Structure formats: structure tokens, C-alpha cells
């Protein structure tokens, strides 16, 4: 029987009625993509998976606790205010996905020392304290603003010379 692979669309021949993929690799990819589609948008599943990844020190935390923190934070990143997501896409790290962040990076993962932040913010912060992180953000912002002002002033001067 000839058919199209559900994953890549390639035509293939199979003697098995139930075979829907041209290869084991396509079957595995399709299984992952389908799981991600089921899990995306489900905060409980997202947090359970997040907690299951290593870090035995997170063992006292539960998905229910994290969902409650998320609600208290109004679904916003504790540091940037961006709306957080729980989107899973194969091969893509979604920068707005929620991430568990220790307020004191040297402290334990416990209910009193965590906040939820966007994965991008968490990866920028690394081991900085919240105050150190905010100061660095201010430095970056101030520097960018100064560069913009200088560029604008150059354009104004150039326009005045031409006119």
C-alpha cells in the first residue's frame, strides 16, 4: 500500500496497514510533535515536566505550588513583566516560557526563595542577585539610550549642514 508519511509527507510503500511513517525517525519526530501539541498551554503538565528535570533540590516544590505562584504573579515574569507562556515546540527554546528562578541564587529551591521568570531572563541572570541583575539591565539600557541620542544628534547636525 502506498501512502504519504504523516511527518514529512514523503510517499512510501508499506505492507502494514497501521504504518503511517516512512521511517522510525519520522515516527519518533511525529510522536514528539504530537506530545508537544498536547502539552502546550497546560500549565500543570508544563510545571510537572519542569520539576522532573534533574535538580533533586526542587523536590519539595509541586506543580500546584508553581501554578499558584503564576496566578499571584498574574502570569507575568517577576523581573520583566512579560506575559509568560508554556509553549513547547520541537527544536525551539521559547524565550517567554516560564522558568523557576531562585531569588537568592546561592539559596535552595523552596517556596520562599523562588519566583517565576521568562526563560530568557533566567538565562541572562545566571548567578547574579536580583539587585545585581537589575543594575546590569540599567547599565545596558542607559548605554543604549546614550548611543541612540548620539546617533540622533549626528543626524541632526548632518541635516543642518546640508540645509
State the Rg of the chain over Cα: 24
For position 15, what pLDDT does the model report? 87
For position 55, what pLDDT does the model report? 67
For position 163, what pLDDT does the model report? 65
Mean pLDDT by 10 residues, the chain (163 residues): 91 90 92 87 92 77 96 97 93 94 92 96 92 95 94 88 74
For position 62, what pLDDT does the model report? 94
Angle at the Cα of 142 from the Cα atoms of 139 and 147, rounded to 5 degrees:
120
For position 35, what pLDDT does the model report? 86
For position 54, what pLDDT does the model report? 65
For position 156, what pLDDT does the model report? 87
Amino acid at each position: 500500500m502506498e501512502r504519504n508519511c504523516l511527518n514529512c509527507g514523503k510517499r512510501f510503500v508499506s505492507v502494514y496497514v497501521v504504518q503511517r511513517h516512512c521511517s522510525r525517525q519520522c515516527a519518533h519526530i511525529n510522536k514528539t510533535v504530537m506530545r508537544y501539541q498536547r502539552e502546550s498551554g497546560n500549565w500543570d503538565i508544563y510545571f510537572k515536566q519542569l520539576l522532573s528535570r534533574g535538580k533533586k533540590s526542587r523536590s519539595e516544590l509541586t506543580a500546584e505550588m508553581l501554578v499558584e505562584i503564576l496566578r499571584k504573579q498574574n502570569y507575568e515574569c517577576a523581573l520583566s513583566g512579560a506575559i509568560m507562556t508554556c509553549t513547547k515546540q520541537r527544536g525551539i527554546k521559547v524565550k517567554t516560557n516560564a522558568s523557576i528562578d531562585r531569588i537568592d541564587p546561592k539559596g535552595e529551591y523552596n517556596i520562599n526563595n523562588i519566583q517565576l521568570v521568562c526563560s530568557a531572563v533566567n538565562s541572562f541572570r545566571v548567578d547574579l542577585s536580583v539587585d545585581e541583575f537589575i543594575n546590569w539591565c540599567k547599565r545596558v539600557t542607559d548605554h543604549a539610550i546614550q548611543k541612540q541620542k548620539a546617533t540622533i544628534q549626528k543626524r541632526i547636525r548632518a541635516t543642518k549642514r546640508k540645509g
